[in-house]
Structure formats: C-alpha cells, structure tokens
C-alpha cells in the first residue's frame, strides 16, 4: 500500500490539515443517571402519605392560627373590659387625689393571672399609682396617647397593652395603662397543637400500614408482570408467559406482553444466526477503524478519542501528561527518488524504531502521510518527556538502508504538556503543532517545547 494513502477509517469527513485536527475531536457525552430501585407499592404509599400529611399539616396550621387569633382577641376584649372597670373604680380616688385608695385598688386588681403592669397617670401625665409583676426589670413611663377618649388596645408580640381614660362625672382625670402577657395563651395553643400532631402521627402510621396492604393487593398482577419482565430480561428466556387474572387494563397489558414475548422468541433464533455472521465482519471493521494497515499503529480516529481521555484523566488526577507531534524530514525526497514502495518501508521502519524506545503505556499513532503523534500519560516530570524526545530523534536519525539505498530521513518533534501548556485537547494539539514548526525553523532533526511565542508554520 502506498504511503500517500491514509489508513483505513470509517466513512467520516477528512481532516484536511494538522492545525484543524483539534476541531475534529469528539465531545465527551454525559452519562444518564441510574433510576431508583424503589418499588411501585412503596412509591404509591409514600405519595399518598405525603399528600395526606401535607393536607393534615396545612389543616393543623390553619386551625392553630385561627385558634390563636381567636383566643388572643378574646383576651384583648377581657383585658379592655377589666381596664375600664378598674378605671371606674379609680375615678373617685383620682378626683380627691387619694393615693392610698389608688394603691389599694391596684393591689386588689393585681391578683389577675398574666398581669405584667398597671400604671395610673393624672391629667398632667404624672405617676399616681403603679403595680408591676415581680421580676419585671423595666417599667415604661410612656405618656398616654393624645385625645384618649375611649379604650385603646394594642398587641405587641407576646404582650397586650390597653390604655383607658379615667373619667369622673364626664371629666377626664387621667389615664390608666394595663399590660398583660400572652405567653400563657401561647403555651395552651402549643399544647393543643402538639396533642393534635401526636394524634395525626398515630393516624398516619395506621394509614401507612393499611395503604401498603391495600395497594399491594391491588397491584399484585402488575407486580407479577414486572417480576416476569425482569426474569426474562436477566435470563433471556422468551418462552415464559404471564398469567391474565382479569380483563382490565393490567390484564390487557399482560396479553400484549405475552404476544411480544412470542414474537421475540421467533426473532431471537434469526438474530443469533445473523449476529454470528456479523461478528467476524465486525472484528475486521474494528481493526480497520482504529489501526493503520501500513504500520499497524493506532490511526487518527483512535488518536482523536484517546487524547480526549488522556486530558480528562490528567485533569481529574491532577497529574502530568504530554503530546508529541512528529513529522519526518526529507520524506518527500524518498518518495520522489526511490518510489512509494521504499517510502512505505521507511514508514514501517520508523514506526518500529520509535516503538522500541517507548513505555508500554505510551501510545504512538500515525495521523497520515509522514505525520505521527505520541501520547505520554502519567509522566513523573517534564525532564523524562524531553529525554524521550531526544531518543526518538536519535533513533530515527540512525542510518536506514532500504533496498541497499541510504534513506536521508530524520524526525522533527513538537512537545506540549498538559496541564502546563493547555488544559484541553484542542489547545494541547495547537501548542504541540506550534512547537513542531518551531523545531522546523530551528533546523529540523530536533525537538522543541511549546512556548508562548510559537509562530505560525513556515511557508
């Protein structure tokens, strides 16, 4: 076979030049995620329980909110009524500025539960009387709201505040402020909610067991059909058949499944024979698709896949790898002076010489014509790759006799490292290609590492 022809590859668009090889690299495909192994009965049970739990949770939340809102309003109304009654009792004492009577009224009123503070102010906002709960650190001296003509109630967090005017015979003598705690109401609501939640959990536990039993019985024919499908898939025994229990949707599905098994059973015999015939052809095609028939090296198609894998593994393992672009010197003169048969023998000999100095993990590929590429995965350091490049140049430069004639061939090599020079396959190809042309400009029969100022190929 002539060295001018490229190696046998599957029918695909050809790469016209070395610099366009990066564009032809295939993109890595993502792996589909594995499906869940949870059974249908479990999924339906969890789905039903989730909907039921969500509904009950929402109902409990609404009931708790409405209950809290209602009891809080009732507490506010009761506090407002108590404050009005207290102000009526204090009105005569304020009219005669009897502070002892005010203190006695406040002391009697302080027996109310959840009471935090009672404050009595005169018309000039001066403190007349005060009661506060034991342990209350700070007692506000806020002035009464302006134009306080009737009771005003405000809820601040967990506290209730009521302002009422103190009036005697239609004359406003002062103001009274009452503060109560709502924490007791909150605890009562939370206790009721906790009890309701506990009862709900018990009900859900009972519902879970009942749902599992009911759904397992209802889905028994479908589960049996699923087990049959799995047994057929694992054992490849297409002679098995499912049992039709009822003429419902599952029964009709079982009938269609049995018909499909019968057809597959007939097709399987023909398919096995066809596969045996095509297996030998496929092995030959695999060899032609990934290897060069002239040198028996990996071809361009294999190289495009392998460089992607090498770069991905290098980045994943945070290691070091390299790519060498190898171009033979004076090979055109060999073809012109000695013919293509001699050129083919030169390519085979060059491949043998380079293979002799490589590691088992290194992969030498013929890209076409007199172009080669060498993939060097898992390098310990950069110096090893540079030393190998020198050995390859020396191995090719050794005198080569073909049909009694000395072949004046040599090798020019461009070397690029991943991830030092590039972090993707396309960039690594471009850097190695630029380094190879830099070696050509340096006089051929040598190698160069990739640098930032690698220029374009010479004319």
DSSP-assigned letter for residue 351: H
The mean per-residue pLDDT over the stretch 39-54 comes to 79
* Token output for 342: 């001699």
pLDDT over 90, % of the chain: 29
Range of weakest confidence among 38-52, 371-385, 421-435: 38-52
pLDDT in tens, 138-171: 555 566 676 677 788 888 888 888 998 988 887 8
Mean pLDDT of the chain: 82
Q: How many CB atoms lie within 10 A of CB 39?
A: 13
The mean per-residue pLDDT over the stretch 228-237 comes to 84
What is the spatial distance between Cα 31 and Cα 163, in angstroms, rounded to a whole number? Answer: 70
Q: Specify the long-range contacts of residues 168-172, CB closer than 8 Å, at least 24 apart.
A: 168/91, 168/92, 168/94, 168/95, 172/123, 172/148
- Which of 401, 232, 261, 392 lies closest to 322, judged by CA? 392
The predicted pLDDT at position 414 comes to: 96
The predicted pLDDT at position 302 comes to: 92
The predicted pLDDT at position 261 comes to: 86
What is the spatial distance between Cα 141 and Cα 116, in angstroms, rounded to a whole number? Answer: 14
Please report which confidence band the pLDDT of residue 35 belongs to, taking 50, 70 and 90 as the band edges.
low
Q: Over 90: is that where the pLDDT of 371 sits?
A: yes
Range of weakest confidence among 23-37, 244-258, 397-411: 23-37
Its pTM stands at 0.42
Strand 171-181, strand 159-168: pairing: antiparallel
Please state the length of the chain: 459
Helix (DSSP H) and strand (DSSP E) numbers for the chain: 10, 12
Q: How many CB atoms lie within 10 A of CB 222?
A: 15
Higher pLDDT, 77 or 141: 77
Phi, psi of 279 (to 5 degrees): -65, -45
The predicted pLDDT at position 20 comes to: 43
* Token output for 158: 């967990």
Please report which confidence band the pLDDT of residue 73 belongs to, taking 50, 70 and 90 as the band edges.
confident
Q: Over 90: is that where the pLDDT of 437 sits?
A: yes
* Token output for 459: 């004319």
Q: Over 90: is that where the pLDDT of 362 sits?
A: yes
Q: Which residue has the tokens 């293979």?
A: 355
SS3 292: coil
Higher pLDDT, 369 or 145: 369
The predicted pLDDT at position 354 comes to: 95
> In whole angstroms, how far apart are CA 310 and each of 178, 211, 296?
80, 53, 21
pLDDT in tens, 281-336: 766 676 677 888 899 999 999 999 999 999 999 999 999 999 999 999 999 999 98
Q: Which residue has the tokens 């023909």?
A: 270
Q: Over 60: is that where the pLDDT of 404 sits?
A: yes
> In whole angstroms, how far apart are CA 34 and each of 67, 118, 243, 432?
48, 68, 30, 39
The predicted pLDDT at position 124 comes to: 78
pLDDT in tens, 1-27: 445 444 444 444 444 444 444 444 444
């Amino acid at each position: 076979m002539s060295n001018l022809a490229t190696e046998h590859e599957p029918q695909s668009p050809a790469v016209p030049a070395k610099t366009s090889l990066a564009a032809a690299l295939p993109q890595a495909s993502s792996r589909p995620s594995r499906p869940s192994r949870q059974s249908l009965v479990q999924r339906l049970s969890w789905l039903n329980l989730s909907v039921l739990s969500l509904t009950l949770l929402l109902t409990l939340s609404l009931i708790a909110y409405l209950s809290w809102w209602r009891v809080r309003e009732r507490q506010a109304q009761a506090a407002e009524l108590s404050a009005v009654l207290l102000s009526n009792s204090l009105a005569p004492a304020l009219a005669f500025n009897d502070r002892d009577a005010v203190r006695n009224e406040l002391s009697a009123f302080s027996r109310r539960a959840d009471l935090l503070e009672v404050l009595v102010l005169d018309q000039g906002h001066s403190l007349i009387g005060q009661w506060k709960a034991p342990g209350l650190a700070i007692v506000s001296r806020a002035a009464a709201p302006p134009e306080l003509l009737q009771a005003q109630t405000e809820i601040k967090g967990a506290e209730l505040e009521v302002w009422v005017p103190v009036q005697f015979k239609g004359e406003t003598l002062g103001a009274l402020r009452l503060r109560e705690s709502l924490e007791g109401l909150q605890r009562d609501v939370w206790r009721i909610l906790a009890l309701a939640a506990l009862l709900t959990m018990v009900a859900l536990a009972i519902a879970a067991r009942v749902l599992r039993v009911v759904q397992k019985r209802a889905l028994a024919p479908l589960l049996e059909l699923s087990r049959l499908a799995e047994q057929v898939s694992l054992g490849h025994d297409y002679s098995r058949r499912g049992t039709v229990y009822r003429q419902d949707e599952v029964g009709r599905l079982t009938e269609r499944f049995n018909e499909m098994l019968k057809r597959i059973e007939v097709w399987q015999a023909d398919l096995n024979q066809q596969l045996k015939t095509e297996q030998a052809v496929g092995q030959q095609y695999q060899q032609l698709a990934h290897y060069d028939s002239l040198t028996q090296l990996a071809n361009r198609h294999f190289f495009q896949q392998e460089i992607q894998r090498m770069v991905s593994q290098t980045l994943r393992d945070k290691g070091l790898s390299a790519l060498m672009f190898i171009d033979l010197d004076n090979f055109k003169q060999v073809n012109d002076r000695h013919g293509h048969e001699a050129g083919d023998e030169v390519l085979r000999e060059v491949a043998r010489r380079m293979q002799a100095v490589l590691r088992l993990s290194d992969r030498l590929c013929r890209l076409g014509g007199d172009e080669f590429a060498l993939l060097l995965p898992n390098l310990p350091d950069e110096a090893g790759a540079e030393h190998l490049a020198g050995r390859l140049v020396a191995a090719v430069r050794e005198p080569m006799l073909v049909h009694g004639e000395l072949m004046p061939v040599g090798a020019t090599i461009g070397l690029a490292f991943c991830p030092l020079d590039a972090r993707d396959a396309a960039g690594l190809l471009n850097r190695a290609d630029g380094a190879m042309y830099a070696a050509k400009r340096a006089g051929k029969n040598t190698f160069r590492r990739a640098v930032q100022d690698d220029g374009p190929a010479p004319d």
